[in-house]
């Protein structure tokens, strides 16, 4: 197999010169989304081998299990049926969408509500905020705020802007047991003494009734929907309120179109499968530890953060389905930020640093501008081509620099190049296309999880911190010196108690 050791001696830029059809061969279009993966350290042979890997991992049967609602989240004995939220078949899902539609219509028609406040964290926050940021109508007078963190500074900032009588508070929590969310509801109730307009979006309707939300204001979802896969459910209520139900349904349709593609396209022409295999190629063959998502669109500036939860909470695992410790690396450290701004911040490391960072550039054609698109394209080109020592030296000497000085400076100006990137180009940032884009990444994460033979749908790793929080919280309220923990924890607790 052509691994890094053999491929690193070859130049991607040479492959383009040798094969004028490279773009055609290594690009795919699904609906309005173009994936150009030609600037990767891959040959046709590498793709064949990666597709074999997918076949050897029994991927097709695993995909069928996902779509048919088998309990593939076996550690929690649950299905992972986020795809059912967008396929128009399940009567409970349809009923909830109808309930949402009625509610959204009423709020948008009556125009009595001026502010929507989403109280939720993680999957009950990141999706709605990202989608609203991407699709909101800048002319709309309806405002949406997100309270997720328990930091008083932010909560006060939001609450100070509100007229409680014209505010709609959406409690969004799958479990309704999340400390941050419960604490924020309490804070809001303490701040405003009048009766507030609360609705709850939850898979625990009993708890919603207990905390005083009326039944007709409870929007259910189900334990077969993972928090980080829940923006398609009633968790998307703030989205539907902000962009209208029709557009929210378009968003679901776009995701469904990507589901269909994923379920039926041959692996070699399957966008989520290709994206997943490329990720595996770099993580497992090139020891890349991170993956950057860089949107060149202001409206998509929350996408990296959203995908960070989707990917890292899913595939941040080291134990396989049989309980054995894996011998290979799994999910990447996913990070990213807006492109143009990033160029003036972290791109230096991408071009000349010691880490190999595969990048997904996300671009939008309609409504964009030439500088934005041109910048992304030139960065992808610079990452691929780099600049050799000889070229740098010739350039310096041509500018009149004495040879000795040019030789001293040249090594600092060499750009190694041969750095991989994908370009994901959307024709337009419509609800449909955004739905398809998110579903693309959801399925990419699934494919990687299946090939690594892990369960992408649980998140036991976040539980221990939650367990340890309760006794620490208790300790923070005592006045005596804390001594029962390790010296670091004791020292920090005592520092806080002294200074609070």
Residues that bind ligand F6P (CB under 6 A): 120-124, 173-175, 178, 181, 227-228, 313, 459, 462
CB of 171 to ligand F6P, least distance (A): 9
CB of 203 to ligand F6P, least distance (A): 8
Grouping H, G, I as helix, E, B as strand and the rest as coil, residue 123 is helix
Check residue 78 and report its DSSP letter.
B
| Contacts with 339 (C-beta within 8 Å, 6 or more apart), sequence order | 294, 295, 296, 361, 372, 375, 376, 379
> 């059912």: which residue's tokens?
84
427 in Cβ contact with 365 (< 8 Å): yes
CB of 104 to ligand F6P, least distance (A): 21
Written as six digits, the tokens of 285 are 């063959």
72 in Cβ contact with 45 (< 8 Å): no
CB of 465 to ligand F6P, least distance (A): 8
How many whole angstroms separate alpha carbon 259 and alpha carbon 254?
Answer: 9
CB of 357 to ligand F6P, least distance (A): 26
Q: Could you confirm whether 62 is annotated as catalytic?
A: no
Residue with smaller CB distance to ligand F6P, 124 or 455: 124
Residue 432's CB: how many other CB atoms inside 10 A?
A: 21
Grouping H, G, I as helix, E, B as strand and the rest as coil, residue 222 is coil
Nearest C-alpha neighbor of 232 from the set 218, 221, 243: 221
Q: Is 336 left (phi over 0), alpha (psi -120 to 50) or beta?
A: left
> Of the residues 180, 250, 313, 442, which is catalytic?
313
392 in Cβ contact with 414 (< 8 Å): yes
> Of the residues 17, 89, 206, 344, which is catalytic?
344
CB of 80 to ligand F6P, least distance (A): 13
Planar angle of CA 254, 258, 259, nearest 5 degrees: 110
> 């309005």: which residue's tokens?
32
Q: Could you confirm whether 466 is annotated as catalytic?
A: yes
| Contacts with 358 (C-beta within 8 Å, 6 or more apart), sequence order | 40, 278, 279, 282, 288, 291, 292, 420, 421, 422
Q: Could you confirm whether 344 is annotated as catalytic?
A: yes
Grouping H, G, I as helix, E, B as strand and the rest as coil, residue 168 is strand
How many whole angstroms separate alpha carbon 39 and alpha carbon 386?
Answer: 13
Residue with smaller CB distance to ligand F6P, 309 or 379: 309
- Annotated catalytic residues are 313, 344, 466
């Amino acid at each position: 197999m052509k691994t890094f050791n053999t491929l690193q001696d070859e130049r991607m830029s040479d492959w383009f010169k040798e094969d004028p059809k490279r773009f055609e061969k290594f690009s795919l279009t699904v609906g309005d989304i173009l994936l150009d993966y030609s600037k990767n350290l891959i040959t046709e042979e590498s793709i064949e081998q990666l597709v074999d890997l997918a076949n050897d991992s029994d991927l097709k049967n695993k995909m069928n299990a996902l779509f048919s609602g088998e309990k593939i989240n076996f550690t929690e004995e649950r299905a992972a049926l986020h795809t059912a939220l967008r396929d128009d078949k399940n009567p409970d899902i349809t009923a909830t969408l109808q309930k949402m539609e009625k509610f959204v219509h009423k709020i948008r028609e009556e125009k009595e509500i001026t502010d929507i406040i989403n109280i939720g964290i993680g999957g009950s926050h990141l999706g709605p905020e990202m989608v609203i940021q991407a699709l909101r109508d800048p002319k709309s007078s309806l405002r949406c705020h997100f309270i997720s963190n328990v930091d008083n500074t932010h909560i006060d900032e939001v609450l100070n802007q509100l007229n409680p009588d014209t505010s709609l508070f959406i409690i969004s929590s799958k479990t309704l047991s999340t400390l941050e969310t419960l604490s924020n509801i309490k804070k809001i109730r303490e701040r405003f003494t009048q009766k507030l307009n609360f609705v709850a979006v939850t898979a625990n309707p009993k708890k919603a009734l207990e905390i005083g939300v009326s039944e007709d204001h409870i929007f259910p979802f189900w334990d077969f929907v993972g928090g980080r896969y829940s923006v398609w459910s009633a968790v998307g209520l703030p989205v539907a309120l902000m962009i209208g139900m029709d557009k929210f349904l378009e968003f679901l349709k776009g995701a469904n179109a990507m589901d269909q593609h994923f379920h039926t396209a041959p692996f070699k022409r399957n966008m989520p499968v290709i994206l997943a295999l490329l990720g595996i190629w770099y993580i497992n063959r090139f020891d890349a530890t991170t993956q950057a998502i860089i949107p060149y669109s202001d409206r998509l500036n929350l996408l990296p953060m959203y995908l960070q939860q989707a990917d890292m909470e899913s595939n941040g695992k080291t134990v396989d389905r049989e309980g054995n410790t894996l011998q290979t690396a799994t999910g990447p450290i996913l990070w990213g930020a807006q492109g143009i701004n990033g160029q003036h911040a972290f791109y230096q490391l991408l071009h000349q640093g010691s880490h190999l960072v595969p990048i997904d550039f996300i671009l939008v054609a309609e409504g964009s501008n030439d500088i934005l698109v041109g910048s992304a394209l030139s960065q992808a080109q610079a990452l691929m081509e780099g600049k050799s020592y000889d070229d740098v030296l010739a350039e310096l000497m041509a500018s009149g620099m004495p040879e000795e000085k040019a030789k001293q400076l040249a090594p600092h100006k060499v750009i190694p190049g041969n750095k991989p990137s994908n370009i994901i180009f959307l024709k337009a940032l419509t609800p449909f296309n955004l739905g398809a884009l998110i579903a693309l990444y959801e399925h990419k994460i699934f494919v990687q999880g299946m090939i690594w033979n892990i369960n992408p749908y649980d998140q036991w790793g976040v539980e221990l911190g939650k367990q340890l929080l309760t006794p620490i919280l208790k300790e923070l309220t005592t006045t005596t010196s804390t001594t029962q923990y390790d010296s670091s924890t004791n020292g920090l607790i005592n520092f806080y108690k002294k200074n609070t």
